Amino acid sequence: MINLLELYVKLVGLILIGFILGRKLPSYASTYVGQFLFWLGVPISIIGFLIRTDLSGQIWIAPIIAHLAIFLGAFLAWLIIKAQAYFTQSVPQKSTQGSLILAAMVGNTGYLGFPITLAMVGKEYFAWALFYDMLGSLFGAYGLGVFFAAKFGSNVQSHIQTAKVIFINPALWSFGFGLLLRQVALPSTVVFSLEKLAWGAVALSLMLIGMRLSQLKSWRKVPQAGSSIFIKMLLVPMILGSTLSLFGVTGNAAQVIVLQMAMPPALATLVIAETFDLDRDLAVTALAMGIVVLLVTLPVWLWLF
């Protein structure tokens, strides 16, 4: 309970600082922060944490479960859209449908999932969260997510451009670089510095979430965002979480996987929504709702698993 309260203070505090900065600074400031994290901050944090992470055990199962969660979330969102069309005789706009599916698919397993896993479970099981994000959420967002965005949006990109987005992602390259550095005996000062830089990137990531939330103009998309949040943060973790023992995943490893599945919609959903001209207001509202819901659901998942 003490660890949870400390985590809440840090999460809420850093997001609140970002929210205030987002209101005070020019609107393009969050874009620059996001670019810095994308090219430098997140890659450094991955290397810093990966050097001391235990890679033993069945961590290869993590991305498999991640892809199952992504496909299940997309399928359930599609069912809700079809049910709404059947019972209300009204169909949401294609751009709204795209944002609904995206928000139900991909979770914030990096910016939020990493610090929460480190705080509640520890560094020993960080590899499970890392593999879930790097080999699961990343490809889910910029693979299947881009596919749906192209289908429901108006700014269609080619498959070559989609592949390029994944290939040049520095987080994926740093993942491989970090694995190589594990084979090298680095000086303790270098390891210490990398770890401190990694935590700094985590703090900045949480502030970026607050800056993004400060751009929310209205809450009129709450009912629609609520359906995606219900799927992403409640249905999918409950359905797949109850089957983790069948994969041989138990104990702290299962807790990490459930926490990753139960994360709010990813920042990538907003980036994709902006790129493909989907419902941006719905994407931002889902991000904001997800943060609030997480404060309630997090202790529940920790208790259940």
pLDDT of residue 86: 86
The CB density around residue 86, as the number of other CB atoms within 10 Å, is: 9
- The domain ranges of the chain are 2-304
Query: Does the pLDDT of residue 103 top 90, yes or no?
Result: yes
3-class SS shares of the chain: helix, strand, coil, % to 5: 80, 0, 20
Instruction: Mark 283-292 as b/e (b = at least 16 C-beta within 10 Å).
Output: bbbbbbbbbe
Per residue in 180-205, pLDDT tens? 988 888 899 998 999 899 889 888 98
Per residue in 71-84, pLDDT tens? 999 999 999 999 98
Q: What is the mean pLDDT of residues 152-169?
A: 65
Please identify which residue in the block is written with the tokens 């005996």. Answer: 185
Q: What is the mean pLDDT of residues 53-82?
A: 92
Q: How far apart are CA 147 and CA 159, in angstroms?
A: 9
What CATH number belongs to 2-304?
Answer: 1.20.1530.20
Please identify which residue in the block is written with the tokens 């706009």. Answer: 93
Q: What is the mean pLDDT of residues 205-227?
A: 84
Q: How far apart are CA 212 and CA 23, in angstroms?
A: 10
Q: Which of 104 and 288 is assigned the larger pLDDT?
A: 104
Q: Which of 271 and 194 is assigned the larger pLDDT?
A: 194
Mean pLDDT value across the chain: 87
pLDDT of residue 240: 96
pLDDT of residue 174: 87
Q: What is the mean pLDDT of residues 79-100?
A: 89
Task: Please give the model's pTM, rounded to 2 decimal places.
Answer: 0.85
Q: What is the mean pLDDT of residues 139-166?
A: 72
pLDDT band at residue 169, thresholds of 50, 70 and 90?
confident
Q: Which of 15-24, 134-143, 227-236 has the lowest mean pLDDT?
A: 134-143
Q: Which of 90 and 107 is assigned the larger pLDDT?
A: 107
Q: Which of 301 and 267 is assigned the larger pLDDT?
A: 301
Residue 21 contacts residue 204 (beta carbons within 8 Å): no
pLDDT of residue 184: 87
Contacts of 90 (CB under 8 A, 6+ apart): 84
Residue 116 contacts residue 7 (beta carbons within 8 Å): yes
Q: Which of 63 and 270 is assigned the larger pLDDT?
A: 63
High-pLDDT (> 90) share of the chain, %? 38
- With the C-alpha atoms ordered 244, 126, 111, 292, is the resulting torsion angle positive or negative? positive
In order, the DSSP letters of 160-185 are HHHHHHHHT-HHHHHHHHHHHHTTS-
pLDDT band at residue 38, thresholds of 50, 70 and 90?
confident
Give the tokens for residue 114. Answer: 């990493």
pLDDT of residue 154: 65
Vertex 100 angle, CA 98 and 101, to 5°: 70
Q: How far apart are CA 255 and CA 246, in angstroms?
A: 15
pLDDT of residue 56: 76
Q: Which of 239 and 176 is assigned the larger pLDDT?
A: 239
Tell me the sheet residues that pair with 265. 107
Give the tokens for residue 105. Answer: 């698919």
Q: What is the mean pLDDT of residues 113-128?
A: 87
